[in-house]
């Protein structure tokens, strides 16, 4: 997350995330699932701008007319929760330029919510301690706290327990978002936690040592086969990435889908992979990076 203030306006670049590893450990009494996941922020970003509203109202304008602009939007939810927690009565005019696609497993809404908490803390001069912002982020959504610890972290619990991870180098990826979405609640409702869960250790070790080959071998997502059963169209995306062969060191679905990513061996390989995938008509394709 990148944040800057200019002449009373706070602007934030809110990045998407990818899950390099995601294991589902079991269902919790509160209805959520305990997970272990390794997430990285990528160069695909929404842009949010915040201006003080002297009337005390919270107003959101979004470039995507299909998204809600009221209480159902995580931006509004985050702003309202921040005011409730602090007693602040100031308002804000918020403009959200969407680039991160919805229902793709990229956590665009969660990233926008984290950006909102950070930006309004600055705009309203609240100066909350980082741990308090983390607690508020966890109340807004499971993925929201991660964006306070980019570029990489291992997340546990329902996703709110975040441990930062260092990245030694920049990784180049090709990202594909098919023309279908996957409901996160449907995916988690159907997943069967394994008796012997996989461990994130190999992925964390690969990130520590650097290099994409070892990391590519460790990519894993427990929700991927569930999403592919819910949306059989996704299998074509998975196979399209697999057919790229030597251009990639590995590929996986992010989150509960529907976006997939390929870990490319070089910037040139990422560009070439994107060109091939575009010709297949699999959906929206972008070259992205993640790094220190």
Active-site positions?
17, 143
Produce one character per residue of 253-288: b if its CB has 16 or more CB atoms within 10 Å, e if not: bbbbbbbbbbbbbeeebbebbbebbeeeebbebbbb
E strand segments, the chain: 2-6, 9-27, 33-53, 58-62, 91-97, 152-156, 161-164, 171-177, 220-221, 248-253, 260-264, 284-290
- The answer to whether 61 and 94 are in contact (CB under 8 A) is yes
As a whole number of angstroms, the distance between CA 292 and CA 275 comes to 26
Structure tokens given for 283:
């959906």
Can you read off the two tokens belonging to residue 286?
């972008």
Q: What is the DSSP string of 54-72?
A: TT--EEEEES-TTS--STT
């Amino acid at each position: 997350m990148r944040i800057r203030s200019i002449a009373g306006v706070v602007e934030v670049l809110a990045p998407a995330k990818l899950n390099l590893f995601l294991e589902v450990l079991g269902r919790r009494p509160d209805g959520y699932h305990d997970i272990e996941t390794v997430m990285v922020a990528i160069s695909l970003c929404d842009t949010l701008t915040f201006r003080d509203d002297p009337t005390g109202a919270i107003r959101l304008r979004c470039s995507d007319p299909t998204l809600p602009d009221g209480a159902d939007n995580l931006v509004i939810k985050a702003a309202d929760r921040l005011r409730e927690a602090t007693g602040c009565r100031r308002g804000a005019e918020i403009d959200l330029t969407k680039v991160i696609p919805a229902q793709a497993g990229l956590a665009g809404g969660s990233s926008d919510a984290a950006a909102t908490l950070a930006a309004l803390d600055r705009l309203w001069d609240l100066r909350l301690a980082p741990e308090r912002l983390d607690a508020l982020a966890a109340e807004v959504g499971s993925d929201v706290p991660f964006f306070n610890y980019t570029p990489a972290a291992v997340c546990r619990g329902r996703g709110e327990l975040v441990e930062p991870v260092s990245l030694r180098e920049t990784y180049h990826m090709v990202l594909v978002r098919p023309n279908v979405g996957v409901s996160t609640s449907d995916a988690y409702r159907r997943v069967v936690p394994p008796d012997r869960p996989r461990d994130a250790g190999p992925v964390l070790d690969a990130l520590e040592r650097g290099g994409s080959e070892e990391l590519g071998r460790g990519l894993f997502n427990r929700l991927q086969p569930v999403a592919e059963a819910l949306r059989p169209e996704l299998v074509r995306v998975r196979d399209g990435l697999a057919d790229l062969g030597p251009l990639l060191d590995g590929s996986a679905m992010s989150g509960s889908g529907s976006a997939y990513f390929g870990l490319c061996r070089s910037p040139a390989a990422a560009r070439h992979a994107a060109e091939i995938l575009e010709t297949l008509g699999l959906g929206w394709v972008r070259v992205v990076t993640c790094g220190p």
